[in-house]
Structure 1
Amino acid sequence: MRIGLIGTPYDPFNRAAPAPELAALLPAEATLIAFPSRVGAFPYTPLERAMQAIGHAEAAITATEQGCDAVVIDSVGDYGLDVMRAALAIPAIGSGAAGMAAAAAHGRFAIVTVWPASMNFVVTDLLRAYGYEAACLSIDNVGQEGDLDRLAGPDGYLADVKRGEDALLNAIAAAVARAAAQGAEAVLLGCTCMSPIAARIAATATIPVINPLAEGVKAALAATPLRSAPHVREGRIDLLRTMVASVANAPIEDCPVCVATAA
């Protein structure tokens, strides 16, 4: 089984499979393949989020054409999920939707995220759309607004997240402990960029810690093939590709999880 991770950056210097921390979830015949978005707009606001819906949808179409059996959006923001489901002949899974469902299965839950409060609109809109607003006790923002100014590069904020810098891990652990003290029965990690450190976070927690990317991949593995492909009007896929191609060479903004260039 081939699962396309949509929005996952392609690293030309590292030929290893993406999300190696999820290897234990995969049966021997399953592989994860990265399909980056070609739209270089970090979703600071709903405007850029709409742009990413188009970019992620185009990446998912490419994944389908290259033989993937399912796609998983590598973002809690689920950019373009409804577009994918209206266009693809294979199952499309949102990590945000899968993660929220898994967290809510434990009861009331909190979200702990490495993003600052200005980015909370991404998850609050989805909590409302998916029907989990009442189940979510709180959103704890470990990240600060200034972190948005130093995202990229080997010394950037997201590199700190991936490495699990001690100060950041301690802050996340404290946020998880606060959630438990407030009565949360589980914690949902608020970004798939936290997947590499999810096991380390869970090891010190007293309540379940939900890794949304892992839940998305599990849902893809369990998904049944679609009985029929959705109807797409003639020429619409070409039009979508033309739209994306018009911005594909624009400077790429900083988040290597949500935005990346194709090889």
Structure 2
Amino acid sequence: MQIGLLGTVRTINPAVRPEIGAALPSGIELSAWPSRIGAFPATPVEMAMQAIGHLEAGLSAAEAGAHAAVIDSVADYGIDALRAALAIPVVGSGEAGLTAAAGHGRFAIITVWPKSMNFVPEQLLRQHGLEAQCLGIHNVAEEGVLDAIAGPDGYLNRINRADRSVFDKVLAAVNRAIEEGAQAIMLGCTCMSGMAAKIAANTSIPVINPLWEAAKMAVALAHSSDSTGIKTDRADLVRRMVNAVAGEVDENCPVCVAADEFD
């Protein structure tokens, strides 16, 4: 069974989310389908652009034989369009993560991104009616990290390898949330998936890895579905739209670095 991860950045870890694949049942293969739109979603404008990029990635994954698709972002880019376009199950990491976190009672969100990007979790909380149940969003980064995201020494790679400069701040934020009464923690970015187990081992309450929750749900849905491929007649039009901007590489965008390499 193949699960397509939409938006996964293969240049950061060519093994494709090994921390997720190792915990899934045998016979489950994860495949990465990067967005080809080179715009880091620092504002709602780029977020809307990434909805199209992830839609195209999902179309490609389904046509290549994926049995389910997971949006590798808590932003759940284009989830409604993806569900309308694909015949296979589509699971959003944000949706799955919030569902799991809410099941433990009051929860907090810990994110490695600065406050200017809180529009992502705030929108997610509104959409799912969980604003009151969330005790708060804890940001561990200053705005300056957005100036150096990509590259070997970029911020995203430091997150991926659980660099002490990032991990210690995350753990401190977790402890503050616990002091405020949080009964669970949801990680605010799927880029934190690699450090999820380490965070959980250093705290006393459940730590929700939204990507893991989405992957589990996708496997379960794929087992109960025999649908394949796509169900829209707009796939070619979507690809032409993406092709028109795919060469416009944002050098500070790890998503577009991956797209450029694998285009």
Would you say the 8 A contact 2:63–2:230 is kept in 1?
A: no
Deviation string for 1:151-181 (max 9, x for gaps)?
1111111111111111321111110011111
Query: 1:112 corresponds to which letter in structure 2?
Result: I
Q: Do structure 1's residue 61 and structure 2's residue 59 form an aligned pair?
A: yes
Question: How far does residue 226 in structure 1 lie from its aligned partner after superposition?
Answer: 6.4
2:2 corresponds to: 2
Would you say the 8 A contact 1:72–1:93 is kept in 2?
A: yes
Deviation string for 1:235-257 (max 9, x for gaps)?
x2111111000001111343425
Would you say the 8 A contact 1:73–1:93 is kept in 2?
A: yes
Would you say the 8 A contact 1:111–1:189 is kept in 2?
A: yes
Superposed, which structure 2 residues align to 1:147-162 within 5 Å?
147-162=145-160
2:75 corresponds to: 77
What 5-or-longer segments of structure 1 have no aligned partner? none
Would you say the 8 A contact 1:110–1:186 is kept in 2?
A: yes
What 5-or-longer segments of structure 2 have no aligned partner? none
Kindly, what percent of the aligned residue pairs are identical? 56
Q: Distance in 2 between matches of 1:135 and 1:53?
A: 27
Deviation string for 1:188-233 (max 9, x for gaps)?
000000011111111111111111111110110111316698853x
SS of residue in 1 equivalent to 2:91: strand
Describe the shift of the 1:140–1:117 C-alpha distance in structure 2 as closer, same or farther (beyond 3 A). Answer: same
Equivalent position to 2:165, from 164, 167, 185: 167
Would you say the 8 A contact 2:108–2:137 is kept in 1?
A: yes
Question: How far does residue 23 in structure 1 lie from its aligned partner after superposition?
Answer: 2.7
SS of residue in 1 equivalent to 2:254: coil
TM-score when normalising by structure 2? 0.93
Equivalent position to 1:145, from 137, 143, 155: 143
2:37 corresponds to: 39
The runs of at least 4 consecutive aligned structure 1 residues that moved more than 4 Å come to: 226-231
Superposed, which structure 2 residues align to 1:1-263 within 5 Å?
1-11=1-11, 16-223=14-221, 224-225=224-225, 232=232, 234=233, 236-256=234-254, 260-261=258-259, 263=262
Describe the shift of the 1:228–1:66 C-alpha distance in structure 2 as closer, same or farther (beyond 3 A). Answer: closer
Describe the shift of the 1:216–1:119 C-alpha distance in structure 2 as closer, same or farther (beyond 3 A). Answer: same
More displaced, 129-138 or 246-255?
Answer: 246-255
